[in-house]
Structure 1
Amino acid sequence: MTQEQTHEIALMRYSVIAPLISGLQDSFSSNEAFFRDASARGVMAPDGTTKHFAPTTIKKWYNHYNKGGFDALVPSSRADLGKPRKLDDELQEQIKYLKTNYPRMSAAAIYRQLRDNGSIRPDDLSESTVNRYLNSLALEMKTTTNQDMRRYERPHINEVWCGDSSVGPYLKTVDGKKHKVYIIALIDDASRFIVGIDIFFNDNFVNLMSVMKSAVAKYGRPQMFNFDNGSSYKNKQMELLAARLGSIIHYDQPYTPTQKAKIERWFRTMKDQWMAALDIRDFHSLDELRGNLMAYVNHYNQSVHSSLKGKSPQDRFFSEPERIRRLSEEEIDHNFLLEIERRVSADSVITIDQVEYEVDCRFAKQRIRLRYSPGMEEIFIVESDGTLTPIRLLNKHENAFVKREKIHLCRGDE
C-alpha cells in the first residue's frame, strides 16, 4: 500500500470521527450512540463507494486519534507481515456486522472492503477463509436506515469560522503598474468577530493558509471551518490540515443559503464603508494598504453590532474565554506544514517546483513523504516513526569536496 493510499484511508477514518473530535456532536446521548449512528450512515471510501464499519471499529479510531493524533489513523505495517493469521476477534466482528446489516453482501464484497480499508492485506487472509466464516454464521438478518446529519445554528464562539475572499481595490505600485488585490477573511459565526484577515496580490491556498494560521495562533482552533467549493479551499491539503487541528471542513453547496452569508454580508459592509471612503492614490504598496485595512477591521470589531444585543463583536467573542483553545507554537507550525510525495533519484536528489534538494543516501530510489512550510523555508522528510528530518538545497560545489567512504577489500588471511 502506497503512502498516498494510507493517507486516503486515514482521512476517511477521520471524516467519520471528526464531529466527535471537534466537539460538534451534541445530539447524541453518549459516544456509543454516536458510534452506532456513524456506523449506520457509512462513509465514502477512497474508491468512491460507501463503506460501513462496526461501531467498535469507529470507537477504536476515536481512541487512536486521542492518543496519537491524525498520524495514529494511518494504517501501519504489521509486525507479522508476511505470516498468515487467523480471523481475530476484530475481523470477525467486522464481518459479522457487515453480513448482519447487509445480508446481500457476498463474501467477495466483504473481503474487498476489508482489504480496501486496510484491515487485511491480500497475503494475510484468503477470500475462502472469509467465506468459510460466513457459512458458519447463523444470524438473523437486520436492516438499517441511513440518517442525514442535520446542521444547527451554533450559539458559542469558535464553533464555526466562515471564510471567503473578495476582490479589493486596484493598487498602483511605485513601478506605475496597477494590480488587482484580494482580501481573504475569516469571521466567527457566533460573534461576527473577524478572527483573521489579510490582503494579497493572489487569491490562492497558500495565502488562505497564512490567514488561517494567524487566526488559530491568536484565537485558538475552531470546531469547524466553513468554505465554498472554490479551488483555494477544496483540496487534499485542506483536509489534512483540518484533521491535524482536530477541526471539520464544511463546504457549501452552490446556490444554497448557508452560514457563509455572514462573511458575504461583512464583505458588502466593508466595501460600502472602507472601500467607498478609500482614496487609492494615497497608497503605493501592499503594506500601506494592509495597515489601513487592519485599522478598519479593528474599528469594526470594537463597534456595537445590531445583532449582538448592544455588544461589539470583540466583546461578544471574549465573553467566552473558556471556548478559546490555543495551541502551542510548535503544534501550530507542525500542523500547518503542507505535504507531498516525491521519488528520490539514484544520487539522492528530489525536485520540488523545479528546485533540487538533497536527502540522505539511505532514501535513494525510494518514494518518500515530505512536509514543508508554504513559503518553502523549511522542508522535512517524514521518517517511518513520524519524526521530521530537515533537508537542504542541493549544493553541487560543496558535494565535490565531500570525502566518500571507500570500501576496503581484504584478503582471505586478513
Structure 2
Amino acid sequence: MNDIDEMALFRLGVLGPLTSRGELVRGELARLIRQIAQQEYAIPGSERRHISEKTLRAWYDLWRREGIAGLASKPRTDRGASKLSEAVQSAVLAAKRENPRRSIRQIRLLLEGTGVMPRDTLSRSAVHRLLKTHGLSRIAGPAVVADEKRSFVAEHAGSIWYGDVMHGPTLSLDGKRRKTYLVSLMDDASRLITHSAFCLSETALEIEGVLKQALLRRGLPGRLVVDNGSAYRSATLQGICARLSIRLIYCRPYQPTAKGKIERWHRTLREQFLAELDTTHIRDLNARLWAWIEKVYHCSQHSALGEYTPLSRYQRDLPRIRLLGPLAATLDELFWHRVKRLVRRDGTVSYEGKRFEVPYELTGQHVRLVVDPHTGAVMHVENEAGKTIGAATELDAIANSTRRRQRSQTEPATAGPATGPNLIEIAHRQQFPYTEE
C-alpha cells in the first residue's frame, strides 16, 4: 500500500478548520481562510512562516475536487538536474555534510565568504533541490492549529473522537519501577470511551495501537481531535487517518479547554478508578481498567447526557455510525510501517536486532521493509513506488551452510572446439613439427 505524500499531509493539516466542517455558510469560507493565513507554520522545505490566502484557496479547491491526492506535491520536470556547476555542487554538499545543522542561508553565506560564489548569486531553491536530491534535506512535520470551540457538541455519536494521554501510576514490573501512561479515545456526543489502555510509553506506536482497537470495537469516526504533541503529528498516524477518511485535527497549544471533555474523563478516572487501585499487587492493570469502564463508567448516568448513560447514548446513534465493513479484513495492513533499509552483500537487512533475507538480486539497493510494528512481524519488501518486490524471511545461517548457491552468470564460459586459426595449435606445430595428431 503506497505511502501518502508528506506535503499532502501537511496541507491537509493546515486546512483542518475548513475540511472539518460540512457545508459553509456565506462568507464563512473567506473568514476562515483569513484566520488560517494569519497563523505561523513550519512549512516543509521553506523558511517562510505564512501561507497566502490565494494559496489556501487553491489548496481548498484541489481538496474538494480530488481529495488528499490533489494536495500532493507535483514532481518537477527537471528533478535530479542541477544548474549549479560541479565545483559549486561539491562545495554545497561538503558544507552540509560537515555540519548537518547548517541551514541553506548559512551555506550560502559560507560559500560567499570563502569566495566560491559572488554575493547574492546563489539561488536558495537550487541549493534546496541539490540537498534534497542527495538526501540531505528532509520535510519536517507540520505545525497545525485547530479551530476548536469550548461549547462545541457533536451532532451524533461517531462524529468526533478526542484523543489524549494521561500520566498513570508507577508499577513494579519484573523488579523495576515503571511509569505508565493512559492513552484514551473518547466519543464526543456520548462520552463513551472507544478504547483506553495503560502503556509503558507515549509514542506514536502506542497511540496507533489504541486507535486500531477502537476502530475494531466502535467503527470509524468522522473527525479525530488530538493534542499537538509529536506523537500525534507522526506521519504514520496522519497516513492511517487519511486512508480511512478520518479528519485529523490538532488542538491549539496551551489551550486545555479545547479538550475539556476528555480532561473531565481523566478526572473521573482518578477519582473513581485510581483512588481504589492497589498498585502493589496488580499485574494486569489493563484488564481491571477495561472491566471498570464497561461495568461502571459506561453504565453510569452522565450529567451532560441527561437520562442517558454513555453506552445507551452511543447505542441510540448506531444506525449513523460508520462501520469498518470490508476494511476490517485489511485493517492490519493500514497500520503497517515502512522502514528504509540497504540490502547487504549477503542479501540481508536488519530490523529490531534481527537479520532477514530478501531476494538476492536486491543486493546493494535501498528497499522499504514492510513491518507490523504491533507484533514485530516482517511482512515483505517494497520498492519506492510501494510495489511488493519480494519476501523477507528471518536468516537461518545454519541452513545456509548446506544450501546450494546460485553461480554468477557473468563467469566466462569454457571455450569449445576451435573452428578457425588457433594460436596455441600453431605454436604447438612449430615446436613439435613431427608430432602426429
Band of TM-score, shorter chain: 0.5 to 0.7
Q: 1:290 aligns with which of 274, 286, 292?
A: 286
Counterpart residue number, 1:348: 347
Residue deviations 1:127-172, cap 9 Å, x none? Answer: xxxxxxxxxxxxxxxxxxxxx9744523222232112222333334
* Per-residue deviation, 1:305: 0.8
Whether the 8 Å CA contact 1:24–1:159 is kept in 2: the answer is no
Which residue among 308, 314, 318 is the counterpart of 2:315?
318
Q: Distance in 2 between matches of 1:230 and 1:81?
A: 34
The alpha-carbon deviation at position 357 of structure 1 amounts to: 2.4
Matched-pair identity in %: 27
Task: Go from structure 1 to structure 2 and tell me whether the alpha carbon gap of 1:344 and 1:56 turns closer, same or farther (over 3 Å shift).
Answer: same
* 1:207-263 alpha-carbon deviations (Å, 9 max, x no partner): 221111000111122222222233432322222222222223323233314331211
CA, structure 1 residues 159+390, in 2 after alignment: closer, same or farther (shift >3 Å)?
Answer: farther
Give the Cα separation in 2 of the matches to 1:335 and 1:15. 20
Q: CA deviation at 1:73?
A: 6.6
Q: TM-score, normalised by structure 1?
A: 0.68
1:42-63 C-alpha deviation (Å, 9 max, x unpaired) = 7974214437559677655555
8 Å Cα contact 2:252-2:258 kept in structure 1: no
State how far apart, in whole Å, the 2-side matches of 1:311 and 1:40 are.
38
Residue-pair matches, total: 343
Q: Relative to structure 2, which stretch is displaced further, 40-49 or 313-322?
A: 40-49
Shift of 1:272: 0.7
Matches within 5 A, 1:139-218: 150-151=147-148, 153=152, 154-173=154-173, 175-218=174-217
Where does 1:13-92 land on structure 2 (aligned, <5 Å)? 13-15=11-13, 24-27=21-24, 45-48=43-46, 49=48, 50=51, 53=55, 64-65=66-67
Is 2:338 the partner of 1:336?
Answer: no
Mapped contact 1:357–1:391 kept (Cα < 8 A): yes
The 3-state SS of whatever aligns with 1:215 is: helix
Matched AA of 2:159: E
Counterpart of 2:116 in structure 1 is: none
Change (3 A) 1:263 1:64: same
Q: Is the 8 A contact 1:13 1:61 kept in 2?
A: no
Equivalents in 2 of 1:382, 1:17: separation in Å? 31
Find the residue that maps to 1:156 and give its secondary structure: coil
**C-alpha RMSD over aligned residues:** 4.2
Distance 1:155 1:316, change over 3 A: same
Distance 1:222 1:185, change over 3 A: same
Larger CA deviation: 238-247 vs 190-199: 238-247
1:290 is aligned with what amino acid? N
**Does the C-alpha gap of structure 1 residues 14 and 166 become closer, same or farther in structure 2, counting only changes over 3 Å?**
closer
**What is the letter of the counterpart of residue 158 of structure 1?**
G
Distance in structure 2 (CA, Å) of the matches to 1:34 and 1:311: 36
User: What is the SS of the residue equivalent to 2:237?
Assistant: helix
Q: Distance in 2 between matches of 1:189 and 1:301?
A: 14
Q: Deviations over 1:17-71 (max 9, x none)?
A: 7678x76433257xxx979987996797421443755967765555555xxxx68
Contact 2:17 2:146 (8 Å CA) reproduced: no
- Greater Rg, structure 1 or structure 2? 2
Kindly report which structure 2 residues correspond to 1:327-406, keeping only aligned pairs within 5 A, or say none: 327=324, 328-375=327-374, 376-383=376-383, 386-388=386-388, 389-400=390-401, 401-406=403-408
Map of 1:273 onto structure 2:
272
- Letter of the 1:206 counterpart: L
Residues 1:8 and 2:6 aligned together:
yes
- Provide the rounded CA distance (Å) in 2 between the counterparts of 1:16 and 1:254: 15
CA distance in 2 between partners of 1:219 and 1:318 (Å):
10
Give structure 2 stretches of 5+ with no counterpart. Answer: 81-123, 134-144, 420-437
Q: 1: distance between equivalents of 2:35 and 2:302?
A: 43
CA contact (8 A) 1:162 1:263 kept: yes
Residue type of the partner of 1:181? T
In the alignment, is residue 224 of structure 1 matched against residue 220 of structure 2? no
